[in-house]
Amino acid sequence: MPNPFTISTTHQNNISIITLDGFVDAHTAPQFENAVQTELEAGNVRIVVDCSKLNYISSAGLGVFMSFIEEVRDLNGDIKISGLVPKVRHTFEILGFHDLFEMSEDLNSALASFSAAQSAKEG
């Protein structure tokens, strides 16, 4: 039986919120990749990936983050990660993602960090 996975995208204050629910593995990573690609094609480069419902991520899923971060930052955007459960956070930390990506405890903190970054640029 395949592991359950759903993905949804919403928008708030010109920030794309991609919510991952369940397992991101070799079978579901292409859906995650398509969601990020869709946002980029629409010109949305401020992205929060809400991982509060993410139970597992494989190297294929982690690769999606890595495959887009440089392009997004070249477009003056960013990808931020929020709500990692301890088990999944541990995977991200072992691989050094905390050095490459801003990780927030929850979605609101991640959204606020975009506002703070924008204010710093303008000020």
Domains of the chain: 25-104 (3.30.750.24)
Using left for φ > 0, alpha for ψ between -120 and 50, and beta otherwise, residue 114 falls in alpha
The tens-digit pLDDT sequence of the chain (123 residues) is: 567 899 999 999 999 999 999 999 999 999 999 999 999 999 999 999 999 999 999 999 999 999 999 999 999 999 999 999 999 999 999 999 999 999 999 999 999 999 876 666 666
- The runs of H, that is alpha helices, within 2-47 are 29-41
Does residue 3 contact residue 31 with C-beta atoms inside 8 Å? no
The confidence score (pLDDT) of residue 115 equals 83
The confidence score (pLDDT) of residue 2 equals 61
The confidence score (pLDDT) of residue 1 equals 53
